[in-house]
Structure 1
Amino acid sequence: MGISIDNVRGLILAVSSSVFIGSSFIIKKKGLIKSGTNGIRAAASGGYSYLYEPWWWAGMIMMIVGEIANFAAYAYAPAILVTPLGALSIIFSAVLAHFILKEKLHIFGVLGCVLCVVGSISIVLHAPQEKDIESVKQVWTLATEPGFLVYTFVVVILVAVLIFRYIPRYGKTHLIVYVGVCSLMGSLTVMSVKAVSIALKLTFSGMNQFIYFQTWIFTVIVIFCCLMQINYLNKALDTFNTAVVSPVYYVMFTSLTILASMIMFKDWASQNASQIVTELCGFVTILSGTFLLHKTKDMGNYPTTETPVFSSPHPNQNPNNG
């Protein structure tokens, strides 16, 4: 059958998105490091000195460009093509962190990244087709059904508990706290972004969707959730190794987004047993990769008899000697 011109455009946009987003993690981290030397760190209470750092803004702009490219990719290519390519940002970010930030990427870190990517691809490739949405009101109806309202309520409660109870106690020692807030809010962001993108698509086709209050509510939710994600992602990047933050965030965000989509759009109704089992195996693979990354995140930062991946031997060390 070949590949259509629209799929080629979607592929280019998706790959470009991964490059921009993967690079943004590194550039923002560099900005956070520079701002931390002269001001209050982002992880500290009230630490927003990074807002005065050009490097951080450069990273922020790259992330925005990447997200726009990713958003545009869905207008040309199906999700089954675009979504898995988001995993490229993990590899790109981890490798750049190794060379630019000197955050050593150990062989087990590479294996963890591979497991995360394989698991995510497995889930996406066996995900059901999305429903055809013809109006933002249709999305609003899906969003206000009992199942998704319960999910939204649970997300809001979990985020509140993480922010007010666990971040003050464990934010600087447990990566899952900051990333958990970002991922939970991210799942709501994607559902709202889908609604806004549908509204824009229909508006450009001649059916103005911005005359409905539902469109503006979704827009406000997108803005609020994005600001929350940016704030706590900065704290995570300023506290933990970038090579670990990036894949863990991707895994949690992807998993929760798929869950939210299945609840809201009832994707499970069109799946057979084989697809469901395959998706469960994908989740197990992702969890395995996340665990491996968590347990080995500091292995590359200490002397070891093994040489970390992508690093060269010590200049005084004879590579022929054991």
Structure 2
Amino acid sequence: MLTMLVGEGANFAAYAYAPATLVTPLGALSIIFSAVLAHFILDESLHMFGVVGCVLCLVGSVTIVLHAPLEKDFESVMQVWHLATEPGFIIYTVVVLVLVLFLIFWCVPRYGQTHMVVYIGICSLMGSLTVMGVKAVGLALKLSFSGSNQFIYVVTWFFTILVIVFCVMQLIYLNKALDTFNTAVVSPVYYVMFTTLTIVASIIMFKEWDSQNASQIMTELCGFVTILCGTLLLHKTKDMGGSPNSSSPFHPSNRDQGA
């Protein structure tokens, strides 16, 4: 748990130094390390499909890193605030908040226990705004440590409160999803939705692809799709490394009965 806290702290810091379109998809690397460590420490068999899934995640991650957009230089958190108050991102924010309220007050009472997308949709939509707030807070901390205090601005505290409130809301509905549905299904679907919406929000707010050509953008998208394929393959085949199915005709007990 301590290493998880350290890892989340490092992930938080990464948003201050790199674009969200690079940091968020690279979260799939944790899946690779989890699978490999589980193989050696917990004696969980890493079968052929698991190895292929890890390789796909690794290839996709390297592709994104090599073609990621450059991070913009910010001298003040007020610059982030100006980007957040541009018409494009305001429209995105309003749409997200309306959808979240609709899901919470109308869909959850009716479909929350039967449709996994309701809870995951709330977490993913709020998560895309949370990451934008995390990037602003991380930037404020980086600039403050370098000698330019950013906590004199009201917007810095606004972003901080937004991150705290949205993180708590995400935890509440993610826990509901995990309590109601299979974790093996919730995890990959949440990763896909959260990452996709975060990239969309980052593109709208920070316009990170403005400096890239069509070839670089398509290569990044291909890397992202490769990571998604690897993640889904790992989760869909995670139980294939267990003991043979007793219903199989090649199972020892069945062979004995046949004899």
Q: Scaled by the length of structure 2, what TM-score is found?
A: 0.76
Give 2:214's aligned residue.
273
Give 1:16's aligned residue.
none
Please tell me the residue identity of whatever aligns with 1:134.
E
**Is the aligned partner of 1:228 residue 2:169?**
yes
Query: What do residues 32-63 of structure 1 show as CA deviations (whole Å, max 9, x unaligned)?
Result: xxxxxxxxxxxxxxxxxxxxxxxxxxxxx765
Q: Give, in angstroms, the shift of residue 199 of structure 1.
A: 1.1
Please tell me the residue identity of whatever aligns with 1:227.
V
Structure 2 residues without counterparts, runs of 5 or longer: 40-44
Give 1:318's aligned residue.
252
Q: Give, in angstroms, the shift of residue 256 of structure 1.
A: 1.3
Q: Give, in angstroms, the shift of residue 74 of structure 1.
A: 5.3
In structure 1, what is the Cα distance between the partners aligned to 2:46 and 2:106?
32
Q: 1:221 to 1:78 in 2, by over 3 A?
A: closer
Query: What do residues 70-114 of structure 1 show as CA deviations (whole Å, max 9, x unaligned)?
Result: 22355678878855542133345678999xxxxx99987887777
Query: What do residues 263-299 of structure 1 show as CA deviations (whole Å, max 9, x unaligned)?
Result: 11111211101022223434555666687789x58x9
In structure 2, what is the Cα distance between the partners aligned to 1:196 and 1:215?
7
**Is the aligned partner of 1:168 residue 2:168?**
no
In structure 1, what is the Cα distance between the partners aligned to 2:189 and 2:30?
12
Please tell me the residue identity of whatever aligns with 1:254.
T
In structure 1, what is the Cα distance between the partners aligned to 2:61 and 2:23?
12
Give 1:188's aligned residue.
129
In structure 2, what is the Cα distance between the partners aligned to 1:170 and 1:222?
27
Selected match of 1:243 from 184, 194, 207? 184
Give 1:25's aligned residue.
none
Contact 1:120 1:282 in 2 (8 A): yes
Structure 1 residues without counterparts, runs of 5 or longer: 1-19, 21-60, 99-103, 301-307
**Is the aligned partner of 1:219 residue 2:153?**
no
Give 2:87's aligned residue.
146
Give 2:144's aligned residue.
203
Please tell me the residue identity of whatever aligns with 1:318.
P
Q: 1:111 to 1:247 in 2, by over 3 A?
A: farther
In structure 2, what is the Cα distance between the partners aligned to 1:291 and 1:177?
20
Contact 1:73 1:82 in 2 (8 A): yes
In structure 1, what is the Cα distance between the partners aligned to 2:126 and 2:157?
18
Q: Scaled by the length of structure 1, what TM-score is found?
A: 0.63
Q: 1:134 to 1:150 in 2, by over 3 A?
A: same
Query: What do residues 147-202 of structure 1 show as CA deviations (whole Å, max 9, x unaligned)?
Result: 11111111111111221222222222322221111111111111111111111111
Give 1:256's aligned residue.
197
Q: Give, in angstroms, the shift of residue 313 of structure 1.
A: 3.5
In structure 2, what is the Cα distance between the partners aligned to 1:281 and 1:173?
33
Root mean square deviation of aligned Cα? 4.0
In structure 2, what is the Cα distance between the partners aligned to 1:153 and 1:190?
16
- More displaced, 146-155 or 109-118? 109-118
In structure 1, what is the Cα distance between the partners aligned to 2:58 and 2:99?
27
In structure 1, what is the Cα distance between the partners aligned to 2:57 and 2:125?
18
Once the two structures are superposed, the pairs formed by residues 24-103 of structure 1 within 5 Å of their partners are: 64-73=5-14, 83=24, 85-91=26-32
Contact 1:128 1:271 in 2 (8 A): yes
Q: Give, in angstroms, the shift of residue 119 of structure 1.
A: 5.1
Q: Give, in angstroms, the shift of residue 118 of structure 1.
A: 5.4
Please tell me the residue identity of whatever aligns with 2:105.
F
In structure 1, what is the Cα distance between the partners aligned to 2:57 and 2:185?
11
